[in-house]
Amino acid sequence: MNENHPSDGTVDVDAAVVDTADDIAEMRIRGAATIADAAAEALAIQAERSDADSPAAFQRQLRTAAKTLYETRPTAVSLPNALRYVLRGMEGETVADLRETTTARAEEFRTDLEQAQVTLGEIGANRLRDGDVVMTHCHSTDALSCIEAALEDGKEIEAIVKETRPRKQGHITARQLREWGVPVTLVVDNAARRYLDEADHVLVGADSIAADGSVINKIGTSGLAVNARERGVPVMVAAQTIKLHPDTMTGQTVEIEMRAEEEVLPPEERADIVADAPNDDGLSVENPAFDVTPPRHVDAIVTERGQFPPESIVTLMRELFGETTGEPWEV
Ligand SMILES: O=C(COP(=O)(O)O)[C@H](O)[C@H](O)COP(=O)(O)O
């Protein structure tokens, strides 16, 4: 349902947009590429269902929808990049034209996203040899695309899958790999260093890549990369160019999402620790969802445009995001 209340200046967005925003915030939709795809789809639905009676009202609704989606999770830049891309295609003098250009642009974004992942996978697969063992962290569709392409090339790949506390996205990775017939060894995060001796590659995805080549990904990636460097295991980051964070070219830092205590310490477990003082505020829990891996611990960033040493990624970033950025709804 769309409603416009010009009198008090508020603009309601379609229920589907609110649902998608909730799903992203609650991580029923998660992972940077999947979030970007869902956000573009939600904008298309908003455009299709809009009841706006003027071009200005239509544009207001779309911008409000973009803001609603943007305010869900702060770290994956694929989300604002997707919103900005779709809104930049919103052109026309009539509501019908605006609707058509916006939905077409969203469709184009989603098709390109899918194709970029396939292309990236083919490029990344070239780094994997027959018989290699890959250690993964979290669940990344870009990283899995490299393994899928290697399997399609007829290579045998094995995986050591880190569980990835607290949300255990490693289980999603393990499920996908088993569907493809890949032998999987699941380990707790703390066992990663021990099992690096058996790995030929560390393969992870990214939520954002900064201009200096730093990789922002699931918490635990940086420790894994440091250990991998110490053990001589190359670290490969699979990240479509939608993960490049243009604002970092002007020195902005990437916000690291802090999530709820309950993900780490459910109330009943908290009660076990502070049973005698349920309101004890001397026990606090920190739950950062992501961390930053410096470029010196990354061997290659694999994108659909080729693979890059992290220090050179800024060249690609300038080429793709040369113009100023601004908030996604201020295009
Ligand atoms: O860190 C995560 C997901 O974190 P969360 O589970 O908190 O969203 C993934 O490694 C990247 O988003 C890349 O995923 P993809 O390659 O699918 O974009």
What's the mean pLDDT in 276-281? 75
The response to whether 217 counts as a known ligand-binding position is: yes
Q: Residues, the chain, total? A: 331
The response to whether 243 counts as a known ligand-binding position is: yes
Torsion of CA 321, 324, 325, 331, to 10 degrees: -110
Cβ 218 vs Cβ 173: under 8 Å? no
Q: What is d(CA 232, CA 198) in angstroms, rounded to the nearest whole number?
A: 11
Cβ 187 vs Cβ 195: under 8 Å? yes
Specify whether 132 is catalytic: no
Q: What is the pLDDT of residue 9?
A: 53
Element (H, E) at 55: helix 55-70
Q: What is the pLDDT of residue 279?
A: 74
Q: What is the pLDDT of residue 331?
A: 60
Ligand 1, atom 3: nearest CA belongs to which residue? Answer: 31
Residue 327 pLDDT > 60, yes or no? Answer: yes
Q: What is the pLDDT of residue 278?
A: 67
User: How many angstroms does the Cα of residue 138 sit away from the middle of ligand 1?
Assistant: 7
ipTM for the predicted complex comes to 0.99
Q: What is the pLDDT of residue 12?
A: 84
Give the chain's radius of gyration (CA, Å). Answer: 21
Residue 1 pLDDT > 50, yes or no? Answer: no
Residue 324 pLDDT > 90, yes or no? Answer: no
What's the mean pLDDT in 158-169? 98
Q: What is the pLDDT of residue 326?
A: 72
Q: What is the pLDDT of residue 5?
A: 41
pLDDT digits (tens, 9 = 90+) for 201-241: 999 999 999 999 999 999 999 999 999 999 999 999 999 99
Specify whether 138 is catalytic: yes
Least confident of 89-98, 112-121, 225-234, 320-329: 320-329
Residue 34 pLDDT > 60, yes or no? Answer: yes
Cα–Cα nearest to 20, from 78, 53, 69, 74: 69
Domain boundaries, the chain: 3-118, 125-256+287-305
State the CATH architecture for 125-256+287-305. Answer: 3-Layer(aba) Sandwich (3.40)
The helix/strand/coil state of 94 is coil
User: How many angstroms does the Cα of residue 55 sit away from the middle of ligand 1?
Assistant: 36
Q: What is the pLDDT of residue 314?
A: 96
Ligand 1 lining (C-beta closer than 6 Å): 30-34, 76, 138, 140-143, 169, 205-207, 217-218, 289
Domain at 3-118, CATH from 1.10.540.10, 3.40.50.300, 3.40.50.620, 1.20.120.420: 1.20.120.420
Atom of ligand 1 nearest to the CA of 144: 16
What's the mean pLDDT in 250-259? 96
Binned at pLDDT 50, 70 and 90, residue 11 comes out as confident
Annotated active-site residue in 37, 138, 142, 146: 138
Cα–Cα nearest to 189, from 149, 227, 141: 227
Percentage of the chain exceeding pLDDT 70: 95
What's the mean pLDDT in 257-270? 95
Cβ 103 vs Cβ 48: under 8 Å? yes
Cβ 229 vs Cβ 49: under 8 Å? no
What's the mean pLDDT in 56-79? 98
User: How many angstroms does the Cα of residue 206 sit away from the middle of ligand 1?
Assistant: 6
